[in-house]
A and B are shown apart, each in its own frame.
Chain A
Amino acid sequence: MKRTYAVVGAVLAASLALTACNSGNNNNNSGASPSGTASASPSASSSASSSPSASPSASSAATVTGSTFENFGTYGFDLNNSRHVPYKEVTADNVKDLGVVWSADLKTLDKDVKNGNQSYPVVVDGVIYVTTSGNQVFAFDAVTGNQLWHWKPPAEEAANYSKAGIIANRGVAVGDGKVFMLTIDCQLVALDQKTGQLVKKVKLSDYYPDVTMENGYYETTAPLFYNGVVYIGSSGGDNGVRGFEAAFKSSDLTPAWDNPFWTVPPKGQDWLANSNFQGGGAVWNPPAIDTETGIMYFAVGNPAPDFYGEARPGENPYTDSVVAVEAATGKLVWAKQEISHDLWDYDAAASPMILNATVKDKQQKIVVEGGKSGQWFAWDAKTGDVVWDGVPFAKIDHPKPTPEGVMVYPGALGGENYAPETYDPATNYVLIPGVEEGMLIKAAKNQDEASTPDSPGAQAFGTSMGETPPDVKTYGTITAIDVNTGKQAYQIETKDPQRGGLTSTDTGLAFFGELDGKINALDIKSGKVIWSFQTAGDNIQAAPAIFTVDGKQYMTFTSGGTKPKVYVFAIGGDKTQGDAGTADTSDAHQSSDSSK
């Protein structure tokens, strides 16, 4: 695909207009606001728009197709992470007419793209931003697939990514005229939104010296942009690092909080008084932010070592928890734990979601999260008071691990892994993407065995995650929880574990991919899959983003496996299907990158 650039002056003018829009829009939503009724009226775009759409003159000069845009501007569509879009063009009646508008093979575009893509696309003003395993970023014209720009990290840095084990990346944040991404080796990158030129790249260790790959940290999460701040989580909990959530100013990538929010005590204190490890507690995915209260919510992963708990007595806060902090300062508001003293690698991995829902027949603002434990939780957003306490959505049977090994359900992949839920207000259902994959787990005999040749504590699995025995059936589920009653409305089975997540529309459809490369539509009310399309790729391991250009509804998503691709679907697209793909159901802790 060829690279095209607009007349530079016109692009600059457009970006100035964007900036003005963004700043006026901050307390409404993220700068890249997904809502956008006003933006449909071009004349209103520079003042009243709640979407940072370009003014007509600017957009006609730019190469991006279209003049009015409704965005999927942030990881979870909105800062509540609802993943529910208000678009209505695609319905149960016409979903069969969806087809491929364009697709691109990312490895063809750049041979250094790695396998195992898990990127959640973000779409702003007709431009799709996707990342790849190995931390490349592509910007595409959403309608034509024209590659607008491409960024790849320096080769000498990328050469060491594979040391982290996982080299997937879950996407970008867009705001303040920039595109933000975290690299495997713990750097925060800001690219110019229009050109893809590097604006700034900082090592997290410049601010927090311990946060290095050498110490077992890495980064896979998408950042989140809100109100001039880029929020980031952390990977490496299983390596025995000290997990954190941190905040940086989008203007210059300097810290926006006095300190990171550390999810576990410093080594040597509290439940880590006698531990060789830093405790774990990664923050695998972006937070949800309540723009009315300024409270943000993020999910915290498991304690380290994963399967050996003798040297970490007690409940191990705030591991396997949802934590609420002030978005402006990082100060704790409340924390609620899903699994106390976890011995099974039961992260709270997926991003929490904020709902304004009918709960027990009353309107209530709640925060919900489904864990790798196979349980789903809801808390009052303000107080953290328990609303629904561990509603099961998977087989649950997990004895204490022994050195000989025990079968545990869910296995270490969940439950609900990193894949996000969606919320449909019409039915008041939350849809949970589930994994059913029991696993044989062996405990370490002692702390030494739980540890590893690392500095200061990488790989603290303690000791091994076993294979899934061949006679254990592995499959996926989608569970609808009625938020009003806290009970399952239904659960459907899918051929392979659900590793991507769901995105729903106002017409009662929920779209989700599968590991064999199919993209499906679920009728939310009935629980029936009413459309299924075999793409030419395989291993769709991220949820779709749905948006409009000039009033037409599009859906984009990425596939992973060995054929990382990006797709755009719409009504009237090409209905030629691909060959059935092969699911890669391997450990989420290992990349699917066979080329590393």
Chain B
Amino acid sequence: MIRLTVNGIEHTAEPAGAESLLATLRDRLGLAGSKDACEQGECGSCSVIMDGELVCSCLVMAADADGSEITTVEGLAPAGELHPVQRALVEAHGVQCGYCTPGFAVAAAHLFEREPSPSADDIKEALSGNICRCTGYGAILRALTGLAGEEP
């Protein structure tokens, strides 16, 4: 049995064998916002923040996450509200099919927490582990450069 604090709430779970943190979040804790698209840490759709670090939850064994604090896309903002990066993505039309969107939102939130005014190149580097097949990234970049340029 492992203990996890996910979005501020303590959970216990019994992951089977080499089960990934992503599978535990989705299938045992009912948090389906983190997506599974490549199972190899290439696409970032499963991005979560674990003890302050951005990780691909498909590459973390659930057993290794025992005792950690996790923030998923569901926990970026209080219920009924949007994190600024979420609002920016929606308002700049950075969402199409939306499958990659939770991962982008988590990775972008992690970036803006460390660096409130990232340059376009900083944003690109920080999001280079997230694949989007719909948008060509233009609207995502416009959303986040716009946010970076806003007065705090």
Partners in one complex: no
Give A residues with C-beta under 8 Å from B: none
